[in-house]
Amino acid sequence: MKKEANFHNKAITNTSQSPYVKLKSINFGDCIWNSGFWAEKVKSAEEHMLPYMGDLLCGDIGHALNNFKIAAGEKEGEHKGFYWHDGDFYKFMEAKTYIYALTKDKDILKELDDYIALISRAQEEDGYIHTYIQITEDADRFENRKYHEMYNFGHLFIAASIHYRMTGHRNFLDIALKQADLLYTYFMPDTKHYQRFGFNQTQIMGLVELYRTVKDRKYLKLAEKFINRRGTFEIKHDSTTEGYPIGDMVQERTPLRESEEAVGHAVLALYYYAGAADVYAETGEKALIDALDKLWENVTGKKMYVTGAVGQAHYGASTNLDMIEEGFIDAYMMPNMTAYNETCANLCNAMFSSRMMGIKDESRYADIIELVLYNSGLSGISLGGTEYFYSNPLRMVNNSRNYDSHADVTESPVRQPYLECFCCPPNLVRTICKSSGWAYNLSKNGVAVVLFGSNDLDTTMLDGSTLKLSQDTDYPWKGLVKITVNECKDSEFEIKVRIPKWAVGSTLKINDEDAPVEVVPGTFAVVNRKWKAGDTIALDMPMNVMRLEGHNRIEETRNQIAVKRGPILYCLETPDLPENTSILNAYIKGNAEFKAVHKPGFLNGVTVVETELLLREDRNDEMYQAISKPEFKSYETQLVPYFAWSNRGQAEMTVFIPVVWNSK
């Protein structure tokens, strides 16, 4: 029997009714990681990451819950944390909600209900909720965009939509709708003061998600309005903009539909683009998707690191010479040591790509999701789950960064147990918690296998029929992925299997025979047939260790290589060098042999790459000096996954290693 029509209304990003999305999201919970890499990460999120984070945010260090108590008049004290701290607490709640959805643990539901009740008591009569503005005397609502009201609201809208979808309870959703209705009254009319407002615009994604939740089109209209207005005002400071750079920094110099280059703060940019993709998913406006195509190509083709990270510089300038913080600079300008690469920005890159994949039905977008998840996303948290990186550079050299633990916690040489700017940790943990929701998508008459990892899928196809699959694999350490059909309809449908772009030479077998389709890296291999229970698909991806080089316009990687195996980037870390040897003295032979070795007891179980390095013995500590052929000493060692670096004490690290091609 067919189930109700709107059977995918519990998706993370609910595209079930979005007319311009070709690959729809599955309900969260339809796919469960059952063992292996992501199952272990989700378990760690449940048992270590979230309890620790809860202690921080609900205690006096994180102070996020205290802020709500003070705003509700239930506690004395001052607001602590940055302006956007509420938003980071909502992300923590969103992560908890995913764990509730997976475990149905009533204690989690009760904990969330307690937070929601407090937030409700802190919310003003007219719907406004922003603890900094409410508690402090120095700012009024919607007077200065630097207070990140839109960011906090956006995360409220998203977390509340997720809570409603996973629990069926309206308590959080009602708070969000009240705030959204208030936003509508301020920002829908063309009042000059409010027209340029908006910083870190997660409210666009959030409003679209509210529209998808309650079907009231005014939220979609408001989301669209925020896009339409941007870039229509003279770029000079006014009373609403003081306190942060303007222009390209906040993507307001060029209207989105005319944009061809990703500019400004990388998190702001990518939340904005992801929100615009959500609007396109509902409206189908060509000018919007044409611009998003160009922006995605620009980000991933000209400004992205080999780890999937984005936002090259802490401070810099756009090509229009607007000052930029934590953001994009020129194409191909990719410093390793000073790379900023905020964890949030990297995750936003995946969020933007996940939306584009749904819209376009192309697997290359999912390659970016995977690249981020295994590398520049996961590098943001320690293996123990309780220490965080904000910035994710590709090279770390002792004393190379202008790091002062009191002044700026964002560029730390080791992961920190708390970041005063706490946006990244809950963003990463919610992403880990929801990762199974990204594993599959549904096509008109089929299913797309997007991410690999042992899991069980029990979902409803878009025609209402039941589909059950299981995936069995040791990915990312091994390249064999075995998919078994456990239950399906009698008629033909397609199973689309993502062939990663790096997976050259992959084979695809159906019931042990070559699949009758071309297997092209960077595309979906689409097998359309009558499936039956017990059918198997075996995708075998060669897990050769690859040498990667950068585009020849990237000066910072010239004559250096990065080592990658499958989706995992590797790095060299000083614990794997002789004592007192700097990472800067390490070179690699062009013809070095690589041996992948799985070490179950090392760094929570990783595959390392064993190889021979060349260590330079002579000194080069002057600014410039004469040189003849340097002296090298051979050294057998290992490279470790980039995401797992900095788990053996403070260390130097590099992804790119200078190569000596002619060495014997």
Please tell me whether residue 525 adopts helix, strand or coil conformation: strand
Residues of this chain that bind Zn ion (CB under 5 A) = 342, 344, 423-424
Instruction: Find the length of the chain.
Output: 664
The least CB distance from residue 27 to Zn ion, in Å, is 28
The least CB distance from residue 646 to Zn ion, in Å, is 18
What are the structure tokens assigned to 541, written together?
């991806």
The least CB distance from residue 409 to Zn ion, in Å, is 11
The Cα angle at residue 294 between residues 340 and 556, in degrees rounded to 5: 35
Q: CA dist 627 to 328, 620, 622, Å?
A: 36, 9, 11
Whichever of 277 and 424 has its CB closer to Zn ion, that residue is 424
CA pair distance 592, 515, nearest whole angstrom: 35
DSSP 82-126: -TTHHHHHHHHHHHHHHHHHHH--HHHHHHHHHHHHHHHHHS-TT
Whichever of 423 and 655 has its CB closer to Zn ion, that residue is 423
The least CB distance from residue 351 to Zn ion, in Å, is 13
The least CB distance from residue 655 to Zn ion, in Å, is 21
Whichever of 159 and 424 has its CB closer to Zn ion, that residue is 424
Asked whether the beta carbons of 479 and 500 are under 8 A apart, the reply is no
Whichever of 306 and 424 has its CB closer to Zn ion, that residue is 424
Centroid of chain to Cα 521: 23
Whichever of 342 and 411 has its CB closer to Zn ion, that residue is 342
Asked whether the beta carbons of 337 and 267 are under 8 A apart, the reply is no
DSSP state of 612: E
CA pair distance 193, 236, nearest whole angstrom: 14
The least CB distance from residue 59 to Zn ion, in Å, is 21
Whichever of 200 and 654 has its CB closer to Zn ion, that residue is 200
**Where are any strands of DSSP class E within 410-549?**
440-443, 446-449, 455-460, 466-473, 480-487, 493-499, 507-510, 513-514, 523-529, 536-540, 545-548
Whichever of 36 and 275 has its CB closer to Zn ion, that residue is 275
The least CB distance from residue 275 to Zn ion, in Å, is 17
The least CB distance from residue 345 to Zn ion, in Å, is 7
Whichever of 316 and 453 has its CB closer to Zn ion, that residue is 316
Whichever of 102 and 270 has its CB closer to Zn ion, that residue is 270
Minimal CA–CA distance to 62: which of 71, 70, 52, 72?
52
CA pair distance 250, 272, nearest whole angstrom: 9
CA pair distance 272, 284, nearest whole angstrom: 17
The least CB distance from residue 342 to Zn ion, in Å, is 5
Whichever of 282 and 342 has its CB closer to Zn ion, that residue is 342
Tally Cβ neighbours within 10 Å of residue 515. Answer: 20
Whichever of 342 and 370 has its CB closer to Zn ion, that residue is 342
CA pair distance 653, 641, nearest whole angstrom: 11
Minimal CA–CA distance to 205: which of 170, 161, 266, 247?
161
The least CB distance from residue 191 to Zn ion, in Å, is 31
The least CB distance from residue 378 to Zn ion, in Å, is 15
Minimal CA–CA distance to 157: which of 237, 73, 199, 220?
220
The least CB distance from residue 148 to Zn ion, in Å, is 12
Whichever of 69 and 415 has its CB closer to Zn ion, that residue is 415
Phi, psi of 222 (to 5 degrees): -70, -40
Please tell me whether residue 224 adopts helix, strand or coil conformation: helix
The least CB distance from residue 517 to Zn ion, in Å, is 41
DSSP state of 478: S
Minimal CA–CA distance to 596: which of 635, 561, 640, 560?
640
The least CB distance from residue 335 to Zn ion, in Å, is 19
Whichever of 368 and 423 has its CB closer to Zn ion, that residue is 423
Phi, psi of 604 (to 5 degrees): 65, 15
Asked whether the beta carbons of 352 and 285 are under 8 A apart, the reply is no
β-bridge pairing 466-473 and 480-487: antiparallel
CA pair distance 395, 353, nearest whole angstrom: 26
The least CB distance from residue 419 to Zn ion, in Å, is 8
Closest residue to Zn ion in the complex (CB): 344
Whichever of 149 and 652 has its CB closer to Zn ion, that residue is 149
Minimal CA–CA distance to 427: which of 208, 60, 158?
158
Whichever of 268 and 451 has its CB closer to Zn ion, that residue is 268
